[in-house]
Structure 1
Amino acid sequence: MIATKTYPSISRKYKETVCTAGVLLNDSEQPIQWVRIYPIRFRALEFEQRYPRWSIISAEIEKNEKDYRSESFRSNDESVNIIRNIDTSDNWAKRKSFILPLEFRSIQDIQTQGKSLGIIKPQSIDKYFYKETEREWSLKQQAVQDQLDLFEPSLPLEKIPYQFLYKFTDRDGVSHRYSISDWEISQLYRNCRDNSRKYNQQEQEAEAMEKVRQKLEDDFLNKKDLYFIVGNLKNHKNTFMIIGLFYPPLVEFEQMALF
């Protein structure tokens, strides 16, 4: 069950890769464990194989022996088959049933159990903010993109010139400041910018950033029951980031009057 995908990154070996995180299911579709599937050249998949978030897929996978993290697997991309999508009915009940049984208490809880990937519920979210980053890929990254492939034409990968972050406290009382690599949020920025009717790039980006802020701060912090899907970096095991946001609506319970 696909829970999130990160925004594509440039790879010398694979040209462009996406990290997918989800939940491995048994034959009865009960959750077993978190899994990370990497690398996947997502935009090179056949159109009917490009799985959305919250879809159940079948695929041939094997442990990635080059990655020490127990959740890391490689896939045979040609074997990917989308089975069905999981909807948001009943306040996301079905989606919750797949991932919340695998919830961790905190970042320390994830690490203590020898894991590198999981979902946590922050005790509090102290601040949303953003940082400007480089507007262009590095020369090495651009060289990878410029490599001609006559058999696999593809659209250039856009560099997002902003980094989105949350500062939060987990349920162990430990404060963290994590970047958000969720593809959905990067795409939100791009859509808002591209749909802007402002007259220049600076104003278009400013309008897009305000709409992203409204989503991540006004909407998610006030109207959603927000969880973070977090994962660490292979070469920096103590460095985590938010690779996906899980945001079912807040459910308000009304006390029934007694007669």
Structure 2
Amino acid sequence: MSDGRWFGVTQLSLFGPKEEGPEPKPVSDQAVELQLLITVKAAPNPSERYGETVCVAGLSVDWQRRGWIRLYPINFRELASDDKFRKYDLVTVAAKPARQDQRRESFRPMMDTMVVQRFLPPWKDRRGLLDPYVEDSMCRRYRAARDDPNAQSLALVRPRSVDGLDVEAHPGWTPAEQRKIDAYIQQPDLFSGHDRTALLPPRFRAFYRYRCHDTGCGGHCQGVLDWELVSFQCRLADRSSDELRRAITAKFLEELCGPGRDVAFYVGNQAKRAHVFSVLGVYWPPRASVPRPRRR
């Protein structure tokens, strides 16, 4: 990079995860500069203040602070267009430790400080950073979270088998979520003068069923909280429900989790229910080809 702050991707791959897990949060409440590869944009949630908030996660590419980072809350709706970022962007952002969240990976970002450095194209450079962090046991993450609510709350888990994708009608917002939406749209917008629009739930939600490599794994069923599942449904809003359901299955099961992919799931738990994990996104580089044996 021209500013000299980024290591080369190949060099970064030498710094894998620490055995002791996520770094403790800084003692001070002063903002720290984070250098991240954005890997997850979760689906938006209703917010009384912002209309909708988004949780973003990424991998620190600062060799002095290795591991996963969670940024929340982000008011993605009102970001200026030039400041919007994509998955697999390398960014810098100032953030403060999230004191109301016991999870060590959680920070409150100062979005006016975010700078997108560059986009990391698929897949070689991404694999150089992310493959050292791939784990083989979701069961281990569950056991750790049950034993300690402060245990690692973000991970990248490669399943032994992906057994299916359950797609069902979204039940709509809960009463508590709807109250937040109602409170948001009733607030006067003193700056733009525009009417506030309510966040609508997607038509469908989905759940991955898979087995990890843990001995005796009985299988996992985790809800998909991926922004891409919501945006995919928005792009196909003109489809019938049956057509949309089939399209979701084709995209998120048959394509992303197809036999030619080294599939892994970005997973994260909830602050108030540390034992509940969801799929936040899919990591789906092409499966490395196996060289054919030479003929004698």
The two structures have a TM-score, normalised by structure 1, of 0.87
**Which residue, out of 199, 203, 206, partners 1:157?**
199
For 1:110, the equivalent position in structure 2 comes to: 141
Asked if structure 1 preserves the Cα contact closer than 8 Å seen for 2:51 and 2:185, the reply is: no
**Does 2:221 correspond to 1:177?**
yes
Select between 59-68 and 149-158 the one with higher mean Cα deviation.
149-158
CA distance in 1, matches of 2:82, 2:198: 21
For 2:249, the equivalent position in structure 1 comes to: 213
Asked if structure 1 preserves the Cα contact closer than 8 Å seen for 2:49 and 2:184, the reply is: no
**Does 2:282 correspond to 1:245?**
yes
Q: Which amino acid aligns with 1:16?
A: E
For 2:75, the equivalent position in structure 1 comes to: 41
Counting only pairs closer than 5 Å after superposition, residues 34-73 of structure 1 correspond to structure 2 as 34-73=68-107
**Does 2:205 correspond to 1:166?**
no
CA deviations 1:232-258 (Å, max 9, x no partner) are 011110000001111112232231424
**Does 2:272 correspond to 1:235?**
yes
CA shift, 1:72, in A, is 0.4
CA distance in 2, matches of 1:31, 1:64: 16
**Does 2:180 correspond to 1:141?**
yes
Asked if structure 2 preserves the Cα contact closer than 8 Å seen for 1:19 and 1:36, the reply is: yes
CA pair 103-52 structure 1, distance change in 2 beyond 3 A: same
Asked if structure 1 preserves the Cα contact closer than 8 Å seen for 2:211 and 2:218, the reply is: yes
CA distance in 2, matches of 1:213, 1:94: 28
Secondary structure of the structure 1 residue equivalent to 2:236: helix
**Which residue, out of 228, 231, 239, partners 1:187?**
231
Secondary structure of the structure 2 residue equivalent to 1:257: coil
Asked if structure 2 preserves the Cα contact closer than 8 Å seen for 1:137 and 1:159, the reply is: no
Q: Which of the two has greater helix per residue?
A: 1
CA distance in 2, matches of 1:136, 1:107: 29
Identity of aligned residues (%): 24
Asked if structure 2 preserves the Cα contact closer than 8 Å seen for 1:166 and 1:177, the reply is: yes
The two structures have a TM-score, normalised by structure 2, of 0.77
Aligned residues, how many?
Answer: 246
Select between 132-141 and 65-74 the one with higher mean Cα deviation.
132-141
CA deviations 1:159-196 (Å, max 9, x no partner) are 113111111111112411001011012211221234x4
CA distance in 2, matches of 1:155, 1:142: 9
Unaligned stretches of 5+ in structure 2?
1-36, 146-150
Asked if structure 2 preserves the Cα contact closer than 8 Å seen for 1:181 and 1:243, the reply is: yes
CA distance in 1, matches of 2:136, 2:263: 14
Asked if structure 2 preserves the Cα contact closer than 8 Å seen for 1:193 and 1:207, the reply is: no
CA pair 21-174 structure 1, distance change in 2 beyond 3 A: farther
CA distance in 2, matches of 1:162, 1:141: 21
For 1:93, the equivalent position in structure 2 comes to: 124
Secondary structure of the structure 1 residue equivalent to 2:221: strand
CA shift, 1:13, in A, is 4.2
**Which residue, out of 121, 132, 150, partners 2:169?**
132
CA distance in 2, matches of 1:137, 1:83: 38
CA deviations 1:173-230 (Å, max 9, x no partner) are 2411001011012211221234x4xxxxxxx232122111111222233232211000
RMSD: 2.1
CA pair 120-31 structure 1, distance change in 2 beyond 3 A: farther
Unaligned stretches of 5+ in structure 1?
197-203
Q: Which amino acid aligns with 2:229?
A: I
Q: Which amino acid aligns with 1:12?
A: E
Q: Which amino acid aligns with 2:235?
A: N
